[in-house]
């Protein structure tokens, strides 16, 4: 009975958090985020449980490290790797590794040294050894910007900045865990130079070994799907993929490696190599199940933290220690961001490339250094005379940074004037899918959907140029001998809902008159991957489908580029209120505006003499141009406006 009441309290808070998320997104409220409200609601309920008589429920809702690392954290890491925008991640991989490894090490050292200096004078009766101070700094170096990344995703912030912050936070957690575990192994030993080098070697070995384990598990799943017929049983296929991914995390932890790093690269490898071998239903199932579990875990973790701020029994609040620790992590974050950003920009300039981190991005990187549940979970292993004070301080710092930094992210984006509303092809395809789903749900009536099209969902295969009916028909094309789909593994989703394929315009068309840029020369690993790795780990007909689709996209690119140029040439040659082929401008001497459409150019221009001078006046007679959606359409309209 008490277990049911404890779970009911947490489920009620979770339902409230999700409903709040819906309301905030529906009303487009950016000033506050759902995670902030989740923590505050958890704090209120935790205080009520603390003041209520009895301690049974209080003990049941206390933080459990095993639940956190084995149940709540894996879905978040797996979904992060599975949904990672791999192109931006690997293009910025050097920057991400620099911040995740060197930056985390700097933050840990600075925080640890400042903490030891503070504890040296024994304020508030605190006694912390140098090793415990360094472990404390390593734990607090783990950033967890879930709130900021959620806001970034909603606002479609600059993709490069999003990739750097998300990549750093994922690897940063793993680095902090490995670093703190490495330092604990030296408890009771004297500090020697040889031990320092030994610790660095152990740290690097664990990190890269964990990466290899994750890649091997992902490749094993890809080969399993390639050489079996699991696509005929989507339910079993989806279960096998999920369990194999989770097994990689458990195996890595059991082998004293980093499960976070392993699971992250398992997710990346699954999406890159195994995704093409999955059935259509499994693709959808894994995508949405991983997203659902990740969102539930994220919201539950913040509620968990808020509740435990009052329900933990072993708490020792030291107000000055909490205040100065918050100041210490801000100083450490500055020293881990500013110097490394200058170094990265200097390297970019030396290589003849544009600077990767402008000033606004550096400030946002600093602002994204809030702490999360990983830091509090690691704090349970702290030892020493002031262990309770350090655990309480870490919990308080986590809550404070989420409320302060997470709650002001939207305002900081405005102050720094960071670019938002940037849609990448994957985002646009996803938005088109959602809009199509909403259209089918909202406008189906009498067998017709919006626009008079048949409501039954049909899809077009770009290679066979025929319509596909329902999921079963598309399964036959994807896993049969027909060539259809997408080179990136998600092509079947991109062609659904509308046989006219409305997403092509968004994917291919550029601003009017601008040639569609050709992709630069591929990276050497991408060429090696396409030539050798992809064919080895994916089915043969999938490779044929990918090659056919690649040729299809190249042909569409050439056609769109040619049509774009012809359109601009036609506009320049049209008599849009021009004299000798020139458009009417407010300033005829300004050459750079000669090809610009103006408000005066949508009507024909009449020439008349006024006192011996030639004057131009717009005429309301004749044809009128309607300009919109990047195209110019000639229309014959009446004189009525």
> In 3D, which of 281, 12, 21 has the Cα closest to residue 146?
21
Closest to 602 in 3D by CA, of 578, 568, 581: 578
Beta bridge partners of 454: 448
**Predicted local distance difference test score (pLDDT) of residue 440:** 43
Nearest alpha carbon to residue 378 among 403, 407, 398: 398
Q: What is the structure's pLDDT at 479? A: 55
Place of tokens 């020439």: 607
Q: Give the range among 76-90, 172-186, 257-271, 557-571 with minimum mean pLDDT.
A: 557-571
Mean pLDDT, rounded, of the chain: 76
pLDDT value for 320 = 93
Query: CA-CA distances (angstroms) from residue 526 to 23, 91, 518, 539, 554?
Result: 43, 11, 16, 19, 18
Of 460 and 222, the structure prediction assigns the larger pLDDT to: 222
**Block residue for tokens 């450490």:** 332
Structure confidence by residue, pLDDT tens digits, 484-521: 334 344 444 433 333 333 333 333 333 433 444 555 56
Q: HSE on the CB side for 456, CA within 13 Å?
A: 6
d(CA 152, CA 164): 12
pLDDT at 507: 38
Closest CA to 365 of 547, 172, 122, 110: 172
pLDDT at 462 over 60: no
Q: How far is CA 182 from CA 170, 178, 199, 204, 304, in A?
A: 19, 6, 6, 11, 28
Dump pLDDT digits (tens) for 263-286: 999 999 999 999 989 999 999 999
Number of residues that make up the chain: 641
Structure-token pair, residue 460: 């077009």
Strand pairing class (605-610; 631-635): unpaired
Which residues contact residue 208 at a Cβ distance below 8 angstroms, ignoring those fewer than 6 apart? none
Find the Cα–Cα–Cα–Cα dihedral 270, 275, 279, 284, rounded to 10°: 90
Over its C-alpha atoms, the chain yields an Rg (Å, rounded) of 29
Average pLDDT over residues 400-426: 80
* Contact between 137 and 109 (Cβ < 8 Å): yes
**DSSP state for residue 123 in the 8-state scheme:** G
d(CA 267, CA 269): 5
pLDDT for the residue 472: 52
CA distances from 241 to 224, 246, 614 (A): 10, 9, 77
In this predicted structure, what is the pLDDT of residue 53?
A: 86
Cα–Cα distance measured from residue 333 to residue 103, given in angstroms and rounded to the nearest whole number: 8
Q: Which of 210-224, 398-412, 535-549 has the highest mean pLDDT?
A: 210-224
Tokens of 359: 């000033």
Per DSSP bridges, beta strands 624-628 and 613-618 are: unpaired
Of 124-133, 224-233, 399-408, 585-594, which gets the smallest average pLDDT? 585-594
Kindly indicate the confidence band of residue 629, based on its pLDDT and cuts at 50, 70 and 90. Answer: very low
Average pLDDT score over residue span 380-384: 77
pLDDT digits (tens, 9 = 90+) for 190-217: 767 777 788 788 888 888 899 999 999 9
pLDDT digits (tens, 9 = 90+) for 464-474: 444 444 455 55
| CB-based contact 164:92 (threshold 8 Å) | yes
Structure-block tokens of residue 632: 């110019």
**Number of neighbours of residue 185 by Cβ within 10 angstroms:** 12
pLDDT in tens, 15-45: 998 998 899 888 887 777 778 888 889 999 9
Instruction: Give 337's pLDDT tier (boundaries 50, 70, 90).
Output: very high
Collapsing DSSP to helix, strand or coil, 624 comes out as strand
pLDDT tens figures, 520-548? 566 677 778 888 888 888 888 777 777 77
pLDDT of residue 207: 86
Q: Do residues 406 and 35 make contact, with C-beta atoms less than 8 angstroms apart?
A: yes
């Amino acid at each position: 009975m008490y277990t049911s009441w404890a779970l009911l309290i947490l489920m009620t808070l979770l339902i409230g958090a999700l409903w709040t998320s819906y309301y905030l997104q529906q009303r487009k409220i950016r000033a506050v985020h759902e995670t902030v409200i989740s923590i505050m609601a958890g704090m209120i309920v935790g205080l009520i449980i603390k003041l209520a008589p009895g301690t049974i429920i209080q003990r049941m809702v206390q933080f459990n490290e095993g639940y956190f690392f084995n149940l709540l954290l894996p879905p978040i890491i797996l979904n992060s790797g599975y949904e990672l925008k791999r192109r931006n991640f690997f293009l910025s991989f050097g920057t991400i590794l620099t911040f995740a490894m060197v930056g985390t090490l700097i933050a840990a050292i600075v925080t640890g040294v400042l903490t030891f200096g503070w504890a040296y004078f024994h304020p508030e009766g605190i006694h912390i050894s140098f090793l415990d101070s360094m472990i404390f700094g390593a734990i607090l170096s783990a950033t967890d910007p879930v709130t900021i990344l959620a806001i970034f995703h909603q606002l479609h912030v600059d993709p490069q900045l999003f990739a750097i912050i998300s990549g750093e936070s994922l690897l940063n957690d793993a680095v902090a865990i490995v670093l703190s575990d490495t330092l604990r192994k030296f408890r009771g030993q004297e500090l020697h130079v040889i031990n320092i080098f030994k610790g660095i070697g152990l740290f690097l070995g664990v990190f890269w070994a964990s990466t290899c384990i994750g890649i091997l598990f992902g490749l094993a799943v890809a080969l399993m799907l390639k050489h079996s017929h699991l696509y005929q049983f989507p339910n079993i296929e989806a279960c096998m993929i999920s369990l194999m991914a989770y097994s990689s995390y458990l195996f890595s932890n059991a082998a004293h490696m980093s499960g976070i790093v392993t699971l992250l690269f398992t997710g990346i490898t699954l999406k890159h190599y195994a995704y093409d071998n999955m059935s259509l239903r499994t693709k959808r199932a894994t995508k949405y199940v991983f997203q659902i579990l990740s969102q539930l875990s994220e919201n539950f973790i913040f509620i968990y933290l808020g509740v435990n701020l009052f329900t933990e029994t072993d708490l020792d609040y030291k107000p000055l220690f909490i205040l100065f620790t918050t100041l210490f992590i801000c100083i450490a974050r500055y020293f881990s961001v500013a110097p490394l950003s200058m170094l990265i920009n200097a390297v970019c300039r030396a290589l003849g490339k544009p600077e990767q981190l402008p000033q606004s991005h550096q400030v946002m990187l600093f602002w994204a250094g809030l702490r999360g549940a990983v830091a509090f979970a690691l704090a349970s292993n702290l030892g020493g005379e002031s262990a309770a004070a350090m655990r309480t301080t870490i919990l308080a710092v986590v809550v404070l940074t989420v409320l302060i930094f997470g709650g002001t992210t939207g305002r900081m984006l405005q102050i720094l004037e960071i670019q938002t509303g940037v849609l990448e092809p994957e985002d646009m395809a996803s938005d088109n899918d959602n809009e199509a789903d909403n259209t089918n749900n909202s406008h189906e009536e009498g067998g017709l959907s919006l626009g008079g099209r048949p409501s039954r969902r049909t899809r077009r295969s770009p290679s066979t140029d025929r319509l596909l009916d329902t999921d079963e028909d598309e399964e036959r094309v994807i896993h049969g001998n027909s060539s259809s789909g997408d080179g990136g593994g998600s092509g079947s989703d991109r062609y659904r809902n509308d046989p006219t394929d409305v997403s092509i315009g968004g994917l291919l068309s550029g601003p009017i008159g601008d040639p569609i840029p050709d992709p630069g020369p591929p990276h050497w690993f991408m060429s090696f991957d396409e030539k050798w790795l992809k064919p080895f780990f994916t089915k043969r007909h999938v490779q044929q489908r990918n090659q056919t689709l690649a040729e299809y996209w190249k042909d569409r690119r050439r056609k769109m580029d040619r049509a774009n140029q012809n359109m601009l040439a036609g506009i320049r040659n049209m008599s849009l209120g021009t004299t000798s082929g020139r458009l009417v401008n407010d300033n005829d001497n300004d050459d750079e505006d000669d090809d610009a459409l103006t408000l005066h150019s949508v009507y024909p221009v009449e020439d008349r003499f006024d006192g011996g001078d030639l004057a131009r006046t717009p005429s309301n007679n004749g044809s009128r141009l309607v300009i919109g959606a990047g195209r110019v359409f000639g229309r014959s309209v009446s004189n009525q406006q």
